[in-house]
């Protein structure tokens, strides 16, 4: 089983830490359906060299858009030797006909229903060439084969998902395309989620769920179950769910220390145009303050290049994020992934510039923006990163925190990610990434006496009475 990497992740010159964060959870999930006596290896090209000289019975490839071309090359090479190649994942689901030219069997959507079916067919030597997932559920799914993960190669070996998808329908998001033909938001049972957490060694967890707070009842029970486990964890959720009463307090009391939040844009027209409706009318500043009051750091996600954006968007966004004391920011250039509503609209308007998937990495402009040149958009994107992570801005942002320990944590966390990239590169090369986990845990900890962590009754009277509608986003 192989997770192919995009070129940048395997560069002999420089390897960004973000490719050594998480193990290939999707493939470990699929491996759980193999028979106990099946021989299997799981290789993640982001962190190890591929050896393509073998001739296994079956090669399984997980394909993201940015690694599609690489995945096709690997597939072609194996197929030339007569090896059966099975391919699935987000990009295969978006563009099945393209993928089918490089595979013996393709899989559309999540694999929990189709993969076991394929394994039966394959053993009986009558595999189909295309499997479409229709029953989207995590109920009864076996625990991921974490024994196949080379934990020492990752900073965050304990990545976990307890739900899939999201109840929202933002136009630029992958999820409507990926989950079509079935439910687009579903969860494990709370008991199964807690059991999976119990199985993970150490303290730190990273929930990769698109929106961990999406189902308030599920999330609330999960956080209550996690209290007292002594975990430190990070996750992603929407602004409206952060502003909803009680959920955030419960999460913080259960060990939440940083949250990925999709602000995307501060422009209401852009939110409306992208159907990011759950952000409309929400007080972004109040959400950040509420997170900080609960001792939770903010990883804010922002998208540049929406139709309302002109060249002032970059400075405005950075200034706002720094002023709010947001610890880390993830900037993206708007990217029309195939089979999304955004892609359909841009295609109809003749604005897509090319389909070189290598460049659909949210750092290149692959369409014609309304009020910016593509070059200006790319430059503004890079400038935004540089400005946000200037030491002066890191210190300025830290001043928005009330407690000194939170200020220190802000500086250590923001600086740690972006100011020591060469050091991360060196650590990755000597395969010592996992040794940095205790440092990450120490930084996340924050000893400030935050209101909500004490769970005093007052903490339950949270501000903004926003409705908990639903779900979704994540890491990058």
In angstroms, rounded to a whole number, what is the distance separating the alpha carbons of residues 416 and 155? 13
Of 225-244, which residues contact ligand B12 (CB under 6 A)?
A: none
Say which residues have a Cβ less than 8 Å from residue 312's Cβ, sequence separation at least 6. Answer: none
Nearest to 155 by CA among 425, 472, 447, 410: 425
Q: Does 25 bind ligand B12 (CB under 6 A)?
A: yes
Is position 194 an interface residue for ligand B12 (rule: CB under 6 A)?
no
- Please, which residue, 347 or 447, has the CB nearer to ligand B12? 347
390 Cβ partners below 8 Å, 6+ apart? none
Q: If binding means CB under 6 A, how many residues of this protein chain bind ligand B12? A: 44
From residue 195, how far is each of 24, 199, 211, 216, 236 by CA, in Å? 20, 6, 20, 20, 21
DSSP 54-101: ---SEEEEE--GGGHHHHHHHHHHHHHTT-EEEEESHHHHH-HHHHHT
Distance CA 153, CA 414 (A): 22
What the block records as the tokens of 453 is 């962590």
Q: At its nearest, how many Å lie between ligand B12 and the CB of residue 29?
A: 4
Q: How many Cβ atoms sit within 10 Å of the Cβ of residue 295?
A: 26
If one asks whether residue 262 binds ligand SF4 (CB under 6 A), the answer comes out as yes
65 touches ligand SF4 (CB under 6 A): no
Q: Is 343 in the site for ligand SF4 (CB under 6 A)?
A: no
Side-chain-facing half-sphere of 398: CA atoms under 13 Å: 19
Alpha carbons 233 and 15: distance in angstroms, whole number: 25
33 CB neighbour count, 10 Å cutoff: 17
Question: Of how many residues is the chain composed?
Answer: 476
Does 262 bind ligand B12 (CB under 6 A)? Our answer is no
- Find the shortest distance in angstroms from Cβ 160 to ligand SF4: 17
Among 169, 286, 352, 396, binds ligand SF4 (CB under 6 A): 169
Q: Is 184 an interacting residue with respect to ligand B12 (CB under 6 A)?
A: no
Query: Do 292 and 257 touch, CB atoms closer than 8 A?
Result: no
How far is it between the farthest Cα atoms of the chain?
67
Binding partner at 336 among ligand B12, ligand SF4, none, C-beta below 5 to 8 Å by kind: none
Please name the helix (run of DSSP H) or strand (run of DSSP E) that holds residue 205, with its range, or none. Answer: strand 204-207
Q: Please state whether beta strands 256-264 and 185-187 pair in parallel, antiparallel, or not at all (unpaired).
A: unpaired
CA-based torsion, 26, 28, 29, 33: positive or negative: positive
- The residue (of 240 and 293) whose beta carbon lies closer to ligand SF4 is 240
**60 lies in the site for ligand B12, by CB under 6 A:** yes
Which residues from 178-237 bind ligand SF4, rule CB under 6 A? 210-211
Residue 324 binds ligand SF4, judged by CB under 6 A:
no
Q: What distance in Å separates the CA atoms of residue 209 and residue 207, rounded to the nearest whole number?
A: 6
- 30 binds ligand B12 per the rule CB under 6 A: yes
Site string for ligand B12, 327-366 (x = CB under 6 A): ----------x-----------------------xxx---
Smallest CA-to-CA distance from 176 within 337, 10, 314, 284 is with 337
Q: Does 67 bind ligand B12 (CB under 6 A)?
A: yes
CA torsion sign, 65 to 20 to 164 to 330?
A: negative
- Given the rule CB under 6 A, which of 168-176, 370-378, 393-401, 412-420 is the region that contacts ligand SF4? 168-176
> Is residue 50 a contact point for ligand SF4 (CB under 6 A)?
no
Among 15, 168, 418, 453, binds ligand SF4 (CB under 6 A): 168
Q: Kindly indicate which of the ranges 19-27, 34-42, 239-247, 379-387 contains the residues binding ligand B12, using the contact rule CB under 6 A.
A: 19-27
Q: Which residue is nearest to ligand SF4 (CB)?
A: 472
Closer residue to ligand SF4 (CB): 175 or 250: 175
Binding ligand SF4 (rule: CB under 6 A), the pick from 114, 159, 238, 299 is 238
Q: To the nearest whole angstrom, how small is the minimum distance from the Cβ of residue 341 to ligand SF4?
A: 10
Residues that bind ligand B12 (CB under 6 A): 3, 5-6, 9, 18-19, 21-22, 24-26, 29-30, 60, 62, 64-67, 86-91, 94, 107, 110-112, 114-115, 161, 173-174, 208, 210, 337, 361-363, 474-476
Residues that bind ligand SF4 (CB under 6 A): 166, 168-170, 173, 175, 210-211, 238, 262, 471-473
């Amino acid at each position: 089983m192989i997770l192919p990497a995009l070129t940048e992740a395997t560069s002999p010159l420089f390897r960004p830490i973000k490719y050594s964060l998480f193990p290939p959870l999707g493939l470990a999930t699929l491996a759980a359906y193999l028979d106990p006596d099946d021989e299997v290896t799981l290789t993640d090209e982001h962190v190890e060299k591929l050896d393509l000289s073998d001739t296994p019975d079956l090669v399984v490839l997980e394909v993201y858009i940015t690694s599609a071309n690489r995945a096709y090359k690997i597939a072609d090479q194996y197929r030339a030797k007569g090896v059966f190649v099975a391919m699935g994942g987000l990009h295969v689901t978006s563009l099945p006909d393209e993928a089918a030219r490089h595979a013996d069997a393709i899989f559309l959507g999540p694999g929990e229903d189709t993969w076991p079916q394929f394994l039966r067919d394959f053993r009986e030597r009558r595999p189909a060439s295309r499997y479409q997932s229709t029953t989207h559920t995590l109920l009864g799914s076996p625990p991921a084969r974490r024994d196949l993960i080379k934990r020492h190669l990752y900073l965050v070996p304990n990545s976990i998902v307890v739900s899939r998808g999201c109840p929202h329908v933002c136009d630029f998001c992958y999820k409507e395309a990926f989950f079509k033909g079935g439910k687009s938001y579903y969860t494990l049972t709370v008991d199964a989620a807690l059991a999976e957490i119990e199985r993970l060694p150490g303290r730190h967890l990273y929930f990769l769920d698109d929106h961990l707070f999406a189902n308030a009842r599920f999330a609330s029970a999960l956080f209550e179950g996690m209290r007292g486990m002594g975990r430190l964890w990070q996750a992603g959720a929407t602004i409206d769910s952060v502003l909803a009463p009680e959920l955030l307090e419960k999460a913080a009391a259960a060990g939440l220390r940083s949250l990925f939040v999709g602000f995307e844009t501060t422009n209401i027209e852009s939110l409306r145009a992208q159907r990011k409706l759950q952000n409309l009318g929400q007080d972004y500043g109040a959400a950040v303050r509420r997170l900080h009051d609960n001792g939770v750091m903010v990883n804010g996600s922002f998208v540049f290049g929406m139709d309302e954006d002109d060249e002032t968007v970059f400075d405005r966004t950075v200034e706002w994020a720094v002023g709010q004391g947001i610890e880390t920011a993830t900037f993206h250039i708007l990217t029309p992934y195939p089979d999304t509503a955004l892609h359909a609209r841009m295609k109809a308007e003749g604005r897509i510039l090319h389909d070189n998937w290598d460049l659909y990495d949210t750092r290149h402009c692959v369409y014609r923006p309304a009020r910016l040149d593509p070059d200006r958009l790319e430059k503004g994107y890079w400038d935004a990163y540089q400005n946000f992570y200037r030491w002066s801005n890191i210190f300025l942002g830290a001043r928005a925190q009330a407690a000194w320990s939170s200020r220190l944590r802000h500086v250590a966390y923001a600086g740690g990610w972006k100011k020591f990239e060469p050091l991360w590169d060196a650590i990755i090369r000597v395969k010592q990434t996992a040794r940095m986990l205790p440092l990450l845990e120490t930084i996340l900890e924050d000893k400030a006496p935050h209101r909500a962590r004490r769970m005093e009754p007052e903490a339950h009277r949270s501000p903004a009475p926003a409705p908990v509608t639903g779900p979704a986003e994540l890491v990058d």
